[in-house]
Amino acid sequence: MAAITLEVADDAAERRSGLMGRPDVPCGTGMVFVYDDPVANTFWMGNVEVPLSIAWMLDDRVVAVAEMEPCPAADSSCPRYSPGTDYDRAVETTAGAFSEAGIRPGAPVTFTGLD
């Protein structure tokens, strides 16, 4: 897979807003959610206007991948997505990007520019 240019969400406020309210997510871009310790949080699609792909990682390996449907509303009807296991990073990008690139659980991941 080609490199993805990612915005970094490494504090609670940035992770909470994520890609909400964006009219699009251009191909080759996205957001990485960085956690100090492994978590098992869900991702909520409220106020998200575009479909997204997500890959959850632990120790620089993919643990799960999902396609997430947009939900322009901001209520309990919006879906939540979970990898079903702990993770320390998650990447959201253009819908279909991970499946098109053959990214599956177990795939190695390399990040540059993150501490």
Encode pLDDT of 64-98 as tens digits.
Answer: 999 999 998 888 889 999 999 999 999 999 999 99
Q: How far are the Cα atoms of 43, 50, 87, 114, 115 from residue 22, in angstroms, in the given order?
A: 16, 8, 25, 24, 26
Q: What is the pLDDT of residue 70?
A: 93
pTM value? 0.92
Closest CA to 2 of 33, 32, 29, 25: 29
Q: How far apart are CA 46 and CA 37, in angstroms?
A: 25
* Residue 2 reports pLDDT greater than 70: no
Q: How far apart are CA 97 and CA 37, in angstroms?
A: 26
- 11-48 pLDDT per residue, tens: 999 999 999 989 999 999 999 999 999 999 999 999 99
Q: What is the CATH number of domain 5-100?
A: 2.60.120.1140
